Amino acid sequence: MRLPLATLVAIAACGYSPGPDPVYLQAGSRGRERILAVVPTEGLRINARVPPAIELAVGGIVRLARGRVSLDSSYFLEPPWEVRPSGVPIRGTLRVSFCRSDETVCRSAALPVKLPE
């Protein structure tokens, strides 16, 4: 099947090109607290109106909603974070809404996560 050149250009120009994961989960610290942060890849921003959340395999949800947001509260200006729950393995599904920097419509992703203790 052959597609017209205009169709191929439209598909390339309008669509998000899936590739590496749009974000990654990072374990770190803030002061004395151990934290989890969701870091977007280059050129992407995280939707602050629908903060990222980790659905834990053992049950429960960790919402990563801390961090500075834009003046209109639409996007995180820094990676959203939350204190890491103690004694709970960080395994499950990370749900996140993200946008390219030049777009106003966000996409969502569900990514598997498994961090060492």
In this prediction, residues 32-59 reach a mean pLDDT of: 96
**For the ranges 17-21, 57-61, 89-93, 113-117, which has the lowest average pLDDT?**
17-21
Q: How confident is the model at residue 26 (pLDDT cuts 50, 70, 90)?
A: very high
Query: Mean pLDDT score of the chain, rounded to an integer?
Result: 87
Tokens representing 14 are 């309008």
DSSP letter for each residue of the chain: ----HHHHHHHHHHS----S-SEEEEEEEETTEEEEEEEEPTTEEEBSSS--EEEETTS-EEE--BS-B-TTSSBBSS--EEEPPTT---EEEEEEEEEETT-SS-EEEEEEEE---
* Residue 8 confidence (pLDDT): 40
